[in-house]
A and B are shown apart, each in its own frame.
Chain A
């Protein structure tokens, strides 16, 4: 785990990429995340996260088709690598384990208090 260094925002972006599959390119990722998080995101933050994760090897990318809407520029479609998926699963496991480790009572007490 210690080598992976997946930030919280990066994790969200990575999950979105995984969910969107063939549709995973900049604007779509942004749209999807914005609707789920109910907040505005900047193009810069998404792009920067994507590029960082590509460098770390969680993502690969290839050019997709160009549309008129994009002024003739091609999309870049992102896809998770198997390493990326592994890291995501690891994160999920860690979280699940942690959740299960919380005693029910403590949680309820907290809810009352």
Chain B
């Protein structure tokens, strides 16, 4: 126990000073102190302090404490209790309206929660690395085709030199990836392994589930990820087990598993499957030159002591730039070195070329902007519903209001009452909204894209975000009705001479706005669905439906497989190639006398055009005999266009030192998905020893069985090598699935938006009709027929719907056009018909909504209607 000082405790004194009337302070403070010292003589100091504190609390007497504003407010507590009671009763009295309000707000809040989860997911990417601010990726910029571009590669000797030359650089980690075959027992798979310096696990925060992180210093150890451990070893602890890694078909090495990483956080852009010591590159690739300035490592990360140290390093980089530029050819000269902090690299990975990061957040940032728009619109829709219904139903509450005002409620108090009611409604809505977001919207979205946002309700920031959303929603939706309603004079209300609610222009404007939004959402849903179909049927420029492909190890493997498959009657033609459309291409710099030009090179066998179904626009294909057309190229139309050749045939350019001549022009084909623009590409004849792929054109009806045959032949030929091929249409992986998802997402948004707008409309019509029950009853008694009554009800909405559609139609058109142009480089031609379809759909829904009320009116007994009140 620490020694007790002989002084009264401080906090009760502060407490006293806060509460006590100023004029009494000196006297009572003095009394208390004297009393305290007196007590210290009789009791222990601790007890004296306790007495002191307790006495302080007992000083809280009405005539001693200050007159606080809030004391008066607390007196109104019973009033607030009354407000609460009235609002709950109001909710229960008109369940339909309450449902519309609460459901609408809940749906909107559900989307907001999803939005929040997505933002958190995006911004926490890679933030789990403890050293995220002091670890940097080495990049360089270089001028290509006149534009300055950033590359994530780094010259091979750079890492070691940085470590030697800069005292600020504490750790360096080089990264190099290789495709290998990994074998353990019967499990044989193609894998990509990562050669790293042992500092890897220090610099990056990837804690291990089993094993020790320092084991990477051993040349024979491998650290694997959790999914890999499961893939090869199931649930058991694989530490100490060995795997065989085959770098090439002859060159392999046994590694002992010394570490298994814990499950990686889902929000990451950099990870690994297999980690081995960097020096293993010597085994994997005998003759690998670590000191070659003209070659690159896939990545070099450096760690400095302080984030600010990096500027010192950056300043000293110019000498390496000189070394680098002396070693490489002129067209590979670099402009500068740059360092990207790990914490923010994920945002730039779309701009940095050839970096080791999986995928960036760039597209997520766009989505965030986009989603924030959607969520705001949803909230707006829900708020409009609330405002409209609140204004329309307030006619029923005028009496209550009159009485309240008579017995002394000021206008301010009435506004407070209505807002507090609103908070009650929003609170319920938020409860449902949380459930909706948590159990429906987020799982739906995660399911679509197959990833986990790791959303948890156990996030303190969420509980700051939610009340903010709740308050904003409550005030946004409640302030106008509150001000509007509180404006009425007591006397006019009680005299019953106030008539409003049905003809409020604001109500109509809001409803119109909702219809416009709904129209936009429906148009988007239709367009994205149609565009999905359109793109699915759009020509790729080659046949992707009846072509199979597989990667092969070398020429002899190609030959063996070729011999087997030639005999198969389902196969129409076979071609080999060094690169394959959709799988690989070689970025090449072409030299013209006056300029350099970058294009994708595909080295293929002469029959490749036939096999892949690529058509020629002019010129000829390659001649099909050994040694033919060594210096001929076939270019694509985009290349012709970009080089603005009027007569492409016969044009010449140089690659390295060999001169090539254009002999043919292939029609454009997509070697990337439709999400990206066509790129200039050209074909050259491949040397047979460079063959890495085999492409087979098969009979369309037998595509599947041909694929099975191919796989079977592979297994008999190479039991030790995993099969690495597929249908050509699958080279984009989940491309078609992605297309489907876009349509799906928009259909959901549109459905929710339409439901919200319709709920609002339904609420308005219902209130309108119920307010006119007597009128309709009288009309019916006087012989009004179905048509008459329908006209009467519809009449109010003709103008509104027409105006909304005339505004919403063109707006939707331009909106969807800009979205399409933004998302896709190639999309379907947009016609006005899309908007017409959307508008008709909307009109249909409006008619159905209003019709339900007309039917209700028509079916009701006029006598019942007249008996009201």
Query: B38–A26 contact, CB under 8 A?
Result: no
A1 CB to closest chain B CB (Å) equals 23
| Residue numbers in B under 8 Å from A69 (CB-CB) | 33-34, 37
Say yes or no: is B449 at the interface (Cβ < 8 Å to chain A): no
Q: Is the interface of B mostly helix, strand, loop or mixed?
A: helix
Query: B33–A48 contact, CB under 8 A?
Result: no
Known contacts A30-B35, A70-B33; is-contact A42 B27 (Cβ 8 Å): no
| Residue numbers in A under 8 Å from B32 (CB-CB) | 43
Say yes or no: is A85 at the interface (Cβ < 8 Å to chain B): no
A47 CB to closest chain B CB (Å) equals 6
Query: A51–B34 contact, CB under 8 A?
Result: no
Known contacts A47-B28, A70-B33, A74-B26; is-contact A27 B64 (Cβ 8 Å): no
Q: What sequence of 0s and 1s flags, for each residue 63-79 of chain A, a beta carbon within 8 Å of any chain B beta carbon?
A: 10011011101111000
Within 8 A of B (CB), among A54-106: 55, 63, 66-67, 69-71, 73-76
Say yes or no: is B397 at the interface (Cβ < 8 Å to chain A): no
Q: Is the interface of A mostly helix, strand, loop or mixed?
A: helix
Say yes or no: is B3 at the interface (Cβ < 8 Å to chain A): no
Say yes or no: is B59 at the interface (Cβ < 8 Å to chain A): yes
- In whole angstroms, how far apart are the Cα atoms of A42 and B31 in the complex? 12
Query: B38–A47 contact, CB under 8 A?
Result: no
- In whole angstroms, how far apart are the Cα atoms of A70 and B35 in the complex? 9
| Residue numbers in B under 8 Å from A43 (CB-CB) | 28, 31-32, 35, 55, 58-59
Say yes or no: is A44 at the interface (Cβ < 8 Å to chain B): yes
Known contacts A51-B63, A52-B63, A69-B33; is-contact A42 B28 (Cβ 8 Å): no
- In whole angstroms, how far apart are the Cα atoms of A63 and B24 in the complex? 11
Known contacts A42-B58, A75-B27; is-contact A27 B38 (Cβ 8 Å): yes
Please report the number of residue pairs spanning A and B whose Cβ atoms sit closer than 8 angstroms: 69
Say yes or no: is B29 at the interface (Cβ < 8 Å to chain A): yes
Query: A47–B59 contact, CB under 8 A?
Result: yes
Within 8 A of A (CB), among B545-597: none
Known contacts A43-B35, A43-B55; is-contact A26 B27 (Cβ 8 Å): yes
Q: Which residue of B lies closest to A51 (CB)?
A: B63
| Residue numbers in A under 8 Å from B60 (CB-CB) | 44
Say yes or no: is B795 at the interface (Cβ < 8 Å to chain A): no
B47 CB to closest chain A CB (Å) equals 13
Query: B26–A73 contact, CB under 8 A?
Result: yes
| Residue numbers in B under 8 Å from A30 (CB-CB) | 35
Say yes or no: is B30 at the interface (Cβ < 8 Å to chain A): yes
| Residue numbers in A under 8 Å from B319 (CB-CB) | none
Say yes or no: is B61 at the interface (Cβ < 8 Å to chain A): yes
Interchain CB contact (< 8 A) of A25 among B29, B31, B59: B31
Q: Which residue of A lies closest to B29 (CB)?
A: A73
Q: What sequence of 0s and 1s flags, for each residue 348-387 of chain B, a beta carbon within 8 Å of any chain A beta carbon?
A: 0000000000000000000000000000000000000000
Interchain CB contact (< 8 A) of A26 among B31, B37, B58: B31
- In whole angstroms, how far apart are the Cα atoms of A71 and B33 in the complex? 7
Known contacts A51-B63, A51-B64, A73-B26; is-contact A44 B31 (Cβ 8 Å): no
| Residue numbers in B under 8 Å from A71 (CB-CB) | 29-30, 33
Known contacts A70-B33, A70-B34; is-contact A26 B28 (Cβ 8 Å): yes
Q: Which residue of A lies closest to B59 (CB)?
A: A44
Query: B24–A47 contact, CB under 8 A?
Result: yes
- In whole angstroms, how far apart are the Cα atoms of A30 and B60 in the complex? 18
A93 CB to closest chain B CB (Å) equals 29
Known contacts A27-B35, A27-B38, A69-B33; is-contact A44 B55 (Cβ 8 Å): yes
Q: Which residue of B lies closest to A77 (CB)?
A: B27
- In whole angstroms, how far apart are the Cα atoms of A18 and B603 in the complex? 116
- In whole angstroms, how far apart are the Cα atoms of A63 and B26 in the complex? 10
| Residue numbers in B under 8 Å from A51 (CB-CB) | 24, 63-64
Q: Which residue of A lies closest to B35 (CB)?
A: A27
Known contacts A27-B38, A42-B58, A73-B26; is-contact A47 B33 (Cβ 8 Å): no
- In whole angstroms, how far apart are the Cα atoms of A29 and B25 in the complex? 18
A81 CB to closest chain B CB (Å) equals 18
B683 CB to closest chain A CB (Å) equals 96
| Residue numbers in B under 8 Å from A45 (CB-CB) | 58
Q: Which residue of A lies closest to B25 (CB)?
A: A73
- In whole angstroms, how far apart are the Cα atoms of A48 and B31 in the complex? 13
Query: A48–B27 contact, CB under 8 A?
Result: no
- In whole angstroms, how far apart are the Cα atoms of A6 and B37 in the complex? 33
Query: B63–A73 contact, CB under 8 A?
Result: no
| Residue numbers in A under 8 Å from B55 (CB-CB) | 42-44
Interchain CB contact (< 8 A) of A76 among B27, B37, B61: B27
- In whole angstroms, how far apart are the Cα atoms of A17 and B485 in the complex? 60
Interchain CB contact (< 8 A) of A48 among B30, B35, B37, B63: B63
Known contacts A44-B55, A52-B63; is-contact A27 B27 (Cβ 8 Å): no
- In whole angstroms, how far apart are the Cα atoms of A43 and B35 in the complex? 9
Q: Which residue of B lies closest to A61 (CB)?
A: B27
Within 8 A of A (CB), among B6-51: 24, 26-35, 37-38
| Residue numbers in B under 8 Å from A26 (CB-CB) | 27-28, 30-31
Query: B31–A66 contact, CB under 8 A?
Result: no
- In whole angstroms, how far apart are the Cα atoms of A63 and B28 in the complex? 12
| Residue numbers in A under 8 Å from B26 (CB-CB) | 63, 73-74, 76
- In whole angstroms, how far apart are the Cα atoms of A105 and B785 in the complex? 100
Interchain CB contact (< 8 A) of A74 among B24, B30, B35, B58: B30
A111 CB to closest chain B CB (Å) equals 39
| Residue numbers in B under 8 Å from A75 (CB-CB) | 27, 30-31
Known contacts A26-B27, A51-B24, A73-B27; is-contact A44 B61 (Cβ 8 Å): yes
- In whole angstroms, how far apart are the Cα atoms of A74 and B63 in the complex? 21
B55 CB to closest chain A CB (Å) equals 5
Q: Which residue of B lies closest to A46 (CB)?
A: B31
- In whole angstroms, how far apart are the Cα atoms of A71 and B26 in the complex? 10
Known contacts A42-B58, A69-B37; is-contact A47 B30 (Cβ 8 Å): no
| Residue numbers in B under 8 Å from A52 (CB-CB) | 63
Query: B27–A74 contact, CB under 8 A?
Result: yes
- In whole angstroms, how far apart are the Cα atoms of A105 and B353 in the complex? 116
- In whole angstroms, how far apart are the Cα atoms of A70 and B34 in the complex? 5
Q: Which residue of B lies closest to A48 (CB)?
A: B61
Within 8 A of B (CB), among A1-41: 25-27, 30
- In whole angstroms, how far apart are the Cα atoms of A30 and B38 in the complex? 12
- In whole angstroms, how far apart are the Cα atoms of A25 and B29 in the complex? 13
| Residue numbers in A under 8 Å from B61 (CB-CB) | 44, 47-48
- In whole angstroms, how far apart are the Cα atoms of A43 and B30 in the complex? 11
Query: A66–B59 contact, CB under 8 A?
Result: no
- In whole angstroms, how far apart are the Cα atoms of A68 and B60 in the complex? 26
- In whole angstroms, how far apart are the Cα atoms of A14 and B457 in the complex? 62
| Residue numbers in A under 8 Å from B35 (CB-CB) | 27, 30, 43
A64 CB to closest chain B CB (Å) equals 10
- In whole angstroms, how far apart are the Cα atoms of A55 and B62 in the complex? 14
Query: A27–B34 contact, CB under 8 A?
Result: yes
Besides A42-B59, A44-B60, A48-B64, 14 more A-B contacts (Cβ < 8 Å) are A25-B27, A26-B27, A26-B30, A43-B28, A43-B35, A44-B59, A44-B61, A51-B63, A51-B64, A52-B63, A69-B34, A74-B26, A75-B27, A75-B31
Chain B residues with a Cβ under 8 A of chain A = 24, 26-35, 37-38, 55, 58-61, 63-64
30 contacts across the A-B interface (CB closer than 8 A) = A27-B31, A27-B34, A27-B38, A43-B28, A43-B32, A43-B35, A43-B55, A43-B58, A44-B58, A44-B59, A44-B61, A45-B58, A47-B31, A48-B63, A51-B24, A51-B63, A51-B64, A52-B63, A55-B63, A63-B26, A69-B34, A70-B31, A70-B33, A71-B30, A71-B33, A73-B26, A73-B29, A73-B33, A75-B30, A76-B27
Q: Which 5 A-B pairs have the closest CB atoms?
A: A73-B30, A26-B31, A70-B30, A76-B27, A44-B58
